[in-house]
Amino acid sequence: MAKACYIHIPFCDHICSYCDFCKLLYQKEWIASYLQALEKEIQEGYHHEVLDTLYIGGGTPSSLSNLELERLLQILQALKLSEHYEYTFECNIENIDEMKLRLLKQYGVNRISIGIETINPKLLRKLNRKHTKESIKNKIKMMKMVGYSNINVDLMYALPDESLEDVEKDIEFLLSLKVPHISTYSLILEPHTKLYIDGVKPIDEDLDFEMYQLIQKKIEQHGYIHYETSNYAKAGYESRHNCTYWNNEEYYGFGLGASGYYSGIRYENTRSLNHYLKGCYRLEEHTVSKLEKMQNEMILGLRKVEGVNRELFVLKYGYKIEEVFPIQELLDSGKLIDQNGFLTIPAAYQYLANEILIYFI
């Protein structure tokens, strides 16, 4: 049974040079048809569970006009939310305004997530981002004035030609915004993105690691809890929606290119707008075996700093972790530790988490 739902809005005012998500340049004539198809997919696929979290992502959901956005929000009222729900809306600084924020508030959105990435003008141009330090400060101030206390900002590092000093300035600026959640991502040069096509190369691995350490140190010094490999939050502001993924729990995914996990089936929607508008939503479905569920429990759960609950693993699958996976070598080497009933990756190895997670595939 799903207690979370992701909604994908693929439209963007401009295409960022690093983005590999399902996205399309905003075309007004497509929006009404897309929202109609989305409504139909929800009507056919949603089984009326009460949801704890709802997340509108993209793309750039804030690229919709106020009328289009209100139509979307009306469609999503068909989804039942629990009393203490978390309802997140992703936005870009340049296309969010007070009227849009108040409209979101009116329909129950209580968490805003903003892709800032960097404040360095030279790097922003490389990423094809349009905001400035002043516009960020003004919009964050506006969000707080409208009544949003739960705000996330994204930081991207390991950018082309970026220095440690650049990263430090970005962190200090984000910390000055006094928001309760910060997500940090090392740039991955994905095929089909402009940076990849232009032949941009990854930065030196040692420098990437230094940036990771600097970010972790600076953010934790300001009272944030490092609760997942890439995420930091003030106490009580952890992303409940993303925890659904890391806890290997089921969730709905609706919209172009969305993925979901429901009734033991992982699925991915088509990225073809024509197919989607015709009602051909699914690209592929895969029934998850018990072994795959246990692998996912470890791979996703070990991203959390607290790790995987040993007792809960037995309750869910009927096996102890060590009866399924050869973890003794990892324990002996110190790459995994066993403490307080949790199996976890120690801080010294969190940066190398992917090399450790290979053991569970």
Report pLDDT digits (tens) over 16-55.
Answer: 888 878 888 889 999 999 999 999 999 999 999 999 999 9
Residues 311, 242, single domain; the answer is no
N- to C-terminal Cα distance for the chain?
Answer: 25
Residues 241, 341, single domain; the answer is no
**pLDDT grade for 158, boundaries at 50, 70 and 90:** very high
- What gap in Å lies between CA 232 and CA 216, rounded to an integer? 9
Residues 73, 152, single domain; the answer is yes
Residues 230, 322, single domain; the answer is no
Amino acid occupying residue 287: T
Which of 246, 267, 296 is the C-terminal boundary of a domain?
Answer: 246
Pick the closest to residue 288 from 315, 263, 316 (CA basis). Answer: 263
Residues 199, 87, single domain; the answer is yes
Average pLDDT, the chain: 96
- What gap in Å lies between CA 139 and CA 114, rounded to an integer? 10
121 within domain boundaries = yes
Phi, psi torsion values for 155, nearest 5 degrees: -120, 130
Q: Which residues of 186-204 are buried (b: 16+ CB within 10 A; e: fewer)?
A: bbebeeebebbeeebeebe
For residue 216, give both structure tokens.
Answer: 């972790």
What pLDDT does 18 receive? 83
- Tell me how many degrees the CA angle 200-202-203 measures, rounded to the nearest 5: 115
- What gap in Å lies between CA 318 and CA 312, rounded to an integer? 10
- % pLDDT > 90, the chain: 88
**pLDDT grade for 304, boundaries at 50, 70 and 90:** very high
Q: What number of CA atoms fall less than 13 Å from residue 353's CA on the CB side?
A: 19
Residues 47, 152, single domain; the answer is yes
Pick the closest to residue 49 from 73, 79, 15, 11 (CA basis). Answer: 79
- Tell me how many degrees the CA angle 187-189-195 measures, rounded to the nearest 5: 105
Residues 195, 340, single domain; the answer is no
- 337-339 and 342-344 strand pairing: antiparallel
Phi, psi torsion values for 261, nearest 5 degrees: -145, 105
167 within domain boundaries = yes
Instruction: Provide mean pLDDT across the span 104-117.
Output: 97
What pLDDT does 151 receive? 98
What pLDDT does 17 receive? 85
**pLDDT tens digits, one per residue of 59-99:** 999 999 999 999 999 999 999 999 999 999 999 999 999 99
Q: Which domain holds residue 315?
A: 307-361
- What gap in Å lies between CA 196 and CA 96, rounded to an integer? 29
Are 330 and 353 within 8 A, CB to CB?
Answer: no
113 within domain boundaries = yes
Residues 171, 314, single domain; the answer is no
109 within domain boundaries = yes
- 11-12 and 24-25 strand pairing: parallel
Kindly list the distances between the CA atom of residue 22 and the CA atoms of 14, 102, 110, 222, in Å, as whole numbers in the listed order: 13, 27, 25, 35
- % pLDDT > 70, the chain: 100
CATH number of domain containing 27:
3.20.20.70
Q: What is the pTM of this model?
A: 0.96
Q: What number of CA atoms fall less than 13 Å from residue 89's CA on the CB side?
A: 25
Residues 217, 337, single domain; the answer is no
Pick the closest to residue 350 from 340, 338, 329, 335 (CA basis). Answer: 335
| Structural domain count, the chain | 2
Which of 197, 226, 246 is the C-terminal boundary of a domain?
Answer: 246
292 within domain boundaries = no
- The pLDDT of residue 312 is above 90: yes
Residues 226, 103, single domain; the answer is yes
Instruction: Provide mean pLDDT across the span 130-157.
Output: 97
Q: Tell me, what DSSP letter sits at residue 200?
A: P
What pLDDT does 23 receive? 84
Are 57 and 6 within 8 A, CB to CB?
Answer: yes
- What gap in Å lies between CA 84 and CA 150, rounded to an integer? 14
- What gap in Å lies between CA 317 and CA 312, rounded to an integer? 9
